[in-house]
Structure 1
Amino acid sequence: MHPSHLSIADYTYELPDHHIAAYPVAKRDNSKLLVYKKGVIRESRYAHLAEEIPAGSLLVFNNTKVVEARLLFQKETGGQIEIFCLEPHEQYPDITTAMLQKNRVLWKCLVGGAKKWKDVLLRKEIPSDTGPAVLTARKAEQRTDHYIIEFEWDNNASFAEILHLAGLVPLPPYMNRAAEDTDKERYQTVYAKHDGSVAAPTAGLHFTPELLASLAAKNISSGFVTLHVGAGTFKPVKAPTMETHEMHTEFMEIDRKLVQQLITHISGTIIAVGTTSLRTMESLYWLGVKLIQQPEIPFSELYITQWEAYENKTAPISTTEALEALLSWMDRHSIERLPARTQIIIAPGYRFRVARALITNFHQPQSTLLLLVAAITGNEWRTIYQYALEHDFRFLSYGDGSLLWMNED
């Protein structure tokens, strides 16, 4: 069955509020780890992850960095307007370019209290090392489900720096609490590097320098992709079938080293740390296929659509061939980092080309992330989640996690 015909009602379970983690555990790698392999479920801790993974494996992490994407403006009348920065205006080629803009930038945003925001300029004074600066916001355009906001500021800082100074951590809505000072550090992976996400790649929140060192000591390599997590990751599936659900698009960047690492390890064990890393690696395969089919494709069309992986009817192309096509394309264009976008949806019926296992948290009922888990484990996802609920695993972003080995054909 084509996954567009899947009924989201078949991917639900009861998630009591007391199972949702509002705060992280005191030590990151002390979180519980459910291990699923060949129908068997065991319990461990993230601190012992190296014992669960063969020597010589490759773990692929997402090194995106969460930005303080929530901006609160006080109106002169006393009311408050909240602006949630989603992603850059399409005039910018990638998130990095947009984040480095100075003095002015256009951003796609959600606006809380939009009806109370008349055609006036919102102003916010923000502290900086060189003295107070003023940030202003203006509604430049209203679209179907968001606004285009023009931000301007009167110092020489980048927009990334402005968000860091003026914004708040965008905690997921299901935590039902305001962000606290400790969230600035805990809602960020220890290896975060590239500004751009409005949600953390939460599987990576469990890793510590000590855990990474224990993996390296066992000759388990680390590779890094960058996929900037958008607010769409929290978008519920409201359609009865997946056919009419529009998957969110996310920006990704990968470098030459990562592609080479994947080629080297493709006959061994590659493990995705987080659903974003998995979606990125699988998207790389389909980008390579697209480049084999269209060698002269321009930058602007480096994009994987929602159902592309299920509708490409060409002769089978090996993973190595697809990844080598990516390297060749990067060589021809003399680039070390490849920017692209992906809308790929991974659901039951998908055949994985790159990864052999996934490290991930426990996800919301009737979500596309739960569909991804079901693509790995089949109907066993129900058994896995029931076990986690019965054994007091903590769910969602600050919760515990799992190591899910893919069911073999």
Structure 2
Amino acid sequence: MTENKVYQLSDFDYHLPEELIAQTPLKQRDQSRLLVLNAKTGEYQDRHFYDVLDYLNPGDALVMNNSRVLPARLHGVRPETGGHAEVLLLRQDHGDVWETLVKPAKKSPIGSTIVFGNNPDHPLMTATVVGELEHGGRYVEFSYDGIFMELLEQLGEMPLPPYIKEKLSDQERYQTVYSKVEGSAAAPTAGLHWTPELLEKVRAKGVQTVELTLHVGLGTFRPVEEENIEDHKMHSEFYQLTQAAADTLNAVRAQGGKIVATGTTTIRTLETIGTKFNGQLQADSGWTDIFIKPGYQWQVVDAFITNFHLPKSTLIMLVAAFTGRENILAAYEHAVQAGYRFFSFGDAMYVHK
């Protein structure tokens, strides 16, 4: 859908009662509710996630982001003072140097160290601050014996979004069932609704399932501060699509099948590559800061699954680029009235033309 209007940040606001922010995942992933929205007409229906099968046809492709969330929140101690410090891994810069957020940042000048493990005198891992970034960011270099990812599994916690106050009893519930490639600071949450059994039903129906990778950065939670959304600068995230995946998707499109994306991260990857190669898909990897908002010319995606997003976020703007602003806000208003669960552990939408 093409819109020429210049939108303001306030145009993407809506009222959300706090009690509708889901604090824990449902017991069964695919039992969440599904609001089906026709982007052309604005009509919507209340279904359940397992009903998504009704909207997928033989010859379609379902595309999923197989990135896996790192247990990226580390709690450590400053050896000089014994004070607590928290380090949140954002992304690997090079070698053992990572871009991180450190709290409290003021007590973390270049050269300072933080140790991790139960015995500060014999830590399992040490982080040394080697550079400063904006927003309290720090480059830290880790030193350790053994394998970094194994130590991270031992020491780290899942970096749940700031609006989730409950502790997660099973860390795997903040991973998709098809997560494989470690590197995300947050989950691609639309995929949390899929179960292995439901995916088998999708394949049995003659739908191709295709994986790509986009490592979600914490910028996904950073609020938009500019009232004129044209002034907002997107964060960059690493993506990768293999040639085999591109070939499958191109074949599906050539035969008239739909490309159905699971989540905004999958959308961002497909549309980045489609924009780069004039609507075609091919093997590609790199960093994307694509900002999809009303007026965007869609290249690849025909329909998608997504969760309910924060007011005034770039993610609700992305959905509005497909549906039109009025249609998505009307659907959200219905979801609020109907008591849908919002955000990461909440319910889902299926959006189609």
TM-score (norm 2): 0.92
Question: What does residue 223 of structure 2 align with?
Answer: 236
What pairs up with 1:83-98 in 2 under 5 angstroms? 83-89=87-93, 92=94
Which of 101, 105, 110 is residue 114 of structure 1 equivalent to? 105
Query: Cα distance, 1:143 vs. partner?
Result: 2.3
Offset at residue 216 of structure 1 (A)? 1.1
Question: Which residue of structure 2 aligns with residue 15 of structure 1?
Answer: 16
Whether 1:372 and 2:318 are equivalent positions in the alignment is yes
Per the alignment, in what secondary structure is the counterpart of residue 239 of structure 2?
strand
- The range that moved more, 272-281 or 236-245, is 236-245
Per the alignment, in what secondary structure is the counterpart of residue 160 of structure 1? helix
Which residue is equivalent to 1:292?
none
Match of 2:131?
Answer: 141
Task: Provide the C-alpha distance between the structure 1 equivalents of 2:160 and 2:17, rounded to a whole number of angstroms.
Answer: 19
**C-alpha spacing 1:134/1:208, structure 2 compared with 1 (3 Å):** same
8 Å CA contact 1:274, 1:359 repeated in 2: yes
Q: Does 1:394 align with 2:302?
A: no
Q: Deviation at 1:243?
A: 2.4
Q: Is the 8 A contact 1:281 1:354 kept in 2?
A: yes
Q: SS where residue 366 of structure 1 aligns? A: coil
1:200 aligns with 2:200: no
Alignment partners' CA distance in 2, 1:350 and 1:116: 43
- Given candidates 325, 331, 340, the residue that maps to 1:384 is 331
The alpha-carbon deviation at position 6 of structure 1 amounts to 2.3
> How many angstroms does 1:133 deviate by?
6.4
Structure 1 regions of 5+ residues with no counterpart? Answer: 93-100, 290-318, 328-337
Pairing 1:225-264 to 2, within 5 Å after superposition:
225-264=212-251
Of 47-56 and 275-284, more deviation after overlay is shown by: 47-56
Alignment RMSD (CA, Å) = 1.9
Pairwise CA distance, 1:39:
2.4
Counterpart amino acid of residue 9 in structure 1:
S
Report the TM-score when normalising by structure 1: 0.80
Bigger helix share: 1
Aligned partner (choices 75, 93, 96) of residue 72 of structure 1: 75
Tell me the secondary structure at the aligned position of residue 174 of structure 1. Answer: coil
Using the TM superposition, give the Cα deviation of residue 288 of structure 1 relative to its aligned residue in structure 2, in angstroms: 1.7
Alpha-carbon distance in 2 for matches of 1:404, 1:143: 38
The DSSP-based 3-state class of the residue aligned with 1:265 is helix
Report the CA distance shift for 1:400/1:34 in structure 2 as closer, same or farther (over 3 A): same
Runs of at least 5 residues in structure 2 that lack an aligned partner in the other structure? none
Distance 1:257 1:126, change over 3 A: farther
CA drift of 1:176 comes to 2.5
Among candidates 42, 59, 63, match of residue 62 of structure 2: 59
Structure 2 CA distance for aligned equivalents of residues 124 and 268 of structure 1: 51
Who is 1:306 aligned against? none
Q: 1:138 to 1:284 in 2, by over 3 A?
A: same
The separation in 1 between residues aligned to 2:112 and 2:65, in whole angstroms, is 39
Look up the SS of the partner of 2:124 in the other structure.
Answer: strand
Flag the 1:3–1:274 CA change in 2: closer, same or farther, 3 A: farther
State the number of aligned residues. 342
**CA–CA separation in structure 1 for the residues paired with 2:327 and 2:28:** 30
Provide the C-alpha distance between the structure 2 equivalents of 1:18 and 1:3, rounded to a whole number of angstroms: 36
Equivalent residue, structure 2, for 1:28: 29
Q: Which one scores higher on RCO, CA 8 angstroms, separation ≥ 6?
A: 2
